[in-house]
Amino acid sequence: MSDTAQTSPPTDRTGLPRPPRSAVRSLVRLWPFARPVRARLGIAACVAVLASCLSLVIPLVLKWLVDGPVAARDPGGVWLGGGCLLLLGVAEALLFGLRRRLVARPLARVEAAMREALYRHLQRLPVSFHDRWSSGQLLSRGTTDLQLVRLFLAFPLTFLLVNATTILVGAVLLLVQRWSLGLVLLAPVLPLMVLCSVFEAKYGRAARLTQDQLGDLTTVVEESVLGIRIIKGFGRHRSQARAFRRLTHALRTSELRKARLLTWILGFNTTLPEIAIGGALVLGTLQVADGALSAGTLVAFLSTALALRWPVESIGFLLAMANEAASATERYFEVLDEPAVDETGRGGPVAG
């Protein structure tokens, strides 16, 4: 039984430490598995972008509604505007539902194919590999890590593109409606970009550490369950319990560090835009009072800003999920990159 498990940095075939990959380079390696469903992923991304852009049309309808029928006290126009808003909301909901249906089942097949490839490769690896690697590390790579990869392909991969497009289109609409207020709302963009860059690097390292520690913990649990008679026979239950407590404490500490990092970035992503919206509200109210801005334009401007709030706030946890998926992908390919044994029993890469 192994009281401890390896969490050393990955090495290449020469035994030297591998240089750390960027998250993008790691995730690009998923392309051979995602290629069969690329059409569905592309259609789902286009549907999500269309649905997100529909949410930016709603403020324009509100502007027409306030400056037109409401100002003219036209009940018929109000009902017409309300009907348009209802149709836009229903269309947005249906499009997001269609996006989910497009990717749910195909990505489950991608996860199954990756798990099958891992199992097939493990059967071809020499015994020396299985002597070096603990079973829990291999098990966590074939279960938890692949679930993270599937979640990335289903959600963050699409919505990083969708939210970036939404923010860009929304920024153009804000500047067109009122450039002075738009500059106030766009002021936090540069600080948030810097903070997200720093957060991405730190969170990526923390995610890799927790995934390795989870593999170590899985090893202890699996070996303890499978070898329960040996543990009892040799009186090793106390040492196994100490190993379990030590690993769970280390994993808890690492998960709390991840939570603190995520709390900081979510806090900044929420606070800075809210301050900007508050400043734009005060400035816009003064301009409406002076007659330099119509009430409908202010309503549309603030509605657009509120529609962009979720895309901005979600950047933090989307980057977190992407970094976790990148670490999971790196761990997965560490096994696939191991040279297998061919049919003659010699070491080397095996085709297929």
Whether the Cβ atoms of residue 30 and residue 153 lie closer than 8 Å to each other: yes
* Residue 3 pLDDT greater than 60, yes or no: no
* Residue 201 pLDDT greater than 80, yes or no: no
Q: In percent, how much of the chain has pLDDT > 70?
A: 91
> What DSSP state is assigned to residue 35?
G
Distance between CA 325 and CA 24 in Å, rounded? Answer: 10
What is the per-residue pLDDT across 258-293, written as a single tens digit (0 to 9) for each?
888 888 888 888 888 888 888 888 888 888 888 888
Which domains, and CATH codes, for the chain? Answer: 23-36+105-336 (1.20.1560.10)
Buried-exposed string 196-223: b where 16+ CB fall within 10 A, e elsewhere: beebbeebbebbbbbbbbbbbbbbbbbb
What is the pLDDT confidence band of residue 347, given thresholds at 50, 70 and 90? Answer: low
Q: In percent, how much of the chain has pLDDT > 90?
A: 11
What is the per-residue pLDDT across 297-317, written as a single tens digit (0 to 9) for each?
888 888 888 888 888 878 877
Distance between CA 136 and CA 143 in Å, rounded? Answer: 10
Task: Kindly list the distances between the CA atom of residue 10 and the CA atoms of 22, 124, 207, 312, 339, in Å, as whole numbers in the listed order.
Answer: 15, 20, 15, 35, 15
What is the per-residue pLDDT across 7-49, written as a single tens digit (0 to 9) for each?
444 444 434 445 556 778 888 999 999 999 989 889 998 998 8
Query: Residue 50, Cβ neighbours under 10 Å: how many?
Result: 16
What is the pLDDT at residue 342?
A: 59
* Residue 351 pLDDT greater than 50, yes or no: no
Q: Determine the Cα angle at 347 with ends 346 and 351, to 5°.
A: 100
What is the per-residue pLDDT across 142-173, written as a single tens digit (0 to 9) for each?
888 899 899 899 888 888 888 888 888 888 88
What is the pLDDT at residue 47?
A: 92
Whether the Cβ atoms of residue 310 and residue 81 lie closer than 8 Å to each other: no
131: amino acid identity, one letter: D
* Residue 210 pLDDT greater than 70, yes or no: yes
334: helix, coil or strand? helix
Distance between CA 38 and CA 33 in Å, rounded? Answer: 10
Distance between CA 208 and CA 325 in Å, rounded? Answer: 10
What is the pLDDT at residue 101?
A: 87
Task: Identify the helix (H) or strand (E) that includes residue 156.
Answer: helix 156-177
* Residue 338 pLDDT greater than 70, yes or no: yes
What is the pLDDT at residue 1?
A: 44
Whether the Cβ atoms of residue 212 and residue 138 lie closer than 8 Å to each other: no
Length reported for the chain: 352
Q: Residue written as tokens 């029928």?
A: 69
What is the pLDDT at residue 113?
A: 92
What is the per-residue pLDDT across 85-128, written as a single tens digit (0 to 9) for each?
899 889 988 998 898 888 888 888 999 999 999 999 988 988 88
Q: How far is CA 340 from the centre of its chain?
A: 32
272: helix, coil or strand? helix
What is the pLDDT at residue 18?
A: 53
Whole-prediction pTM:
0.74
Token pair for residue 328? 């999971």
Distance between CA 117 and CA 271 in Å, rounded? Answer: 45
50: helix, coil or strand? helix
What is the pLDDT confidence band of residue 2, given thresholds at 50, 70 and 90? Answer: very low
